[in-house]
């Protein structure tokens, strides 16, 4: 492991807005009241990477709480440090494997979920690793409040189509979807937030896919 990664891993241990592995389990069902010290809605960004969406959403919506989730601590470091430096107090980060989501959040605790440019896991043999595989969708269904939405942004056309198909097969409700976000009429200040990877894709004229759906 490089010196920069080691430094970042050591530094996030001191961040009050980062919970690693089992540290977050004690907050199950109490993220708003215990960490954020309020009763505001809680929104998750899964596979948050450097946390660009988490931090930008928190800036746009100071009356909501945002938690970025990823397993790579050196990436979380960037978002957590930005939030600290800019005094954005409605942001936290959780370093866990997303398949363990139910160990950290109570049924109906979450108001909305964002999945931004996850690894598409394109090989058929890795279908179960896709963040919109039915087993993951069932986890999201458990933690979301009634009427809560899941949002996926991806440059990967196969993952987008796969997600649309699975959502339809399982009888869930699609609210919005497009395979060319920036030529659609869906773009607003939220969907205009761009991650590090999205900016790279757009430089190469890659189309961006978006779908929003709910379970009821």
Phi, psi of 76 (to 5 degrees): -55, -35
Query: What distance in Å separates the CA atoms of residue 158 and residue 85, rounded to the nearest whole number?
Result: 38
String of DSSP letters for 39-79? ---EEEEET-TT-HHHHHHHHH-TTSEEEEEES-HHHHHHH
Is 188 annotated as catalytic? no
Phi, psi of 61 (to 5 degrees): -125, 75
Contact 90, 65 (CB under 8 A): yes
Indicate which residue of 4, 107, 119, 157 is catalytic: 119
Enzyme catalytic residues: 119
């Amino acid at each position: 492991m490089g010196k920069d990664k080691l430094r970042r891993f050591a530094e996030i241990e001191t961040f009050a807005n980062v919970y690693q592995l089992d540290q977050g389990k004690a907050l199950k069902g109490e993220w708003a009241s215990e960490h954020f010290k309020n009763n505001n809605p809680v929104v998750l960004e899964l596979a948050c990477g450097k946390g660009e969406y988490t931090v930008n959403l928190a800036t746009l919506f100071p009356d909501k709480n945002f938690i970025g989730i990823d397993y790579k601590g050196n990436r979380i470091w960037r978002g957590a440090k930005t939030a600290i430096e800019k005094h954005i107090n409605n942001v936290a980060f959780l370093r866990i494997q997303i398949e363990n989501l139910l160990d950290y959040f109570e049924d109906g605790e979450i108001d909305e979920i964002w999945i931004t440019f996850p690894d598409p896991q394109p090989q058929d043999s890795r279908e179960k690793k896709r963040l919109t595989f039915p087993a993951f969708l069932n986890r999201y269904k458990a933690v979301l409040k009634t009427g809560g939405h899941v949002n996926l942004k991806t440059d990967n056309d196969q993952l987008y189509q796969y997600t649309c198909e699975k959502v339809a097969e399982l009888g869930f409700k699609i609210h919005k979807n497009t395979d060319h976000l920036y030529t659609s009429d869906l773009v607003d200040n939220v969907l205009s937030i761009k991650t590090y990877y999205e900016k790279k894709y757009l430089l190469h004229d890659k189309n961006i896919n978006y779908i929003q759906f709910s379970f009821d």
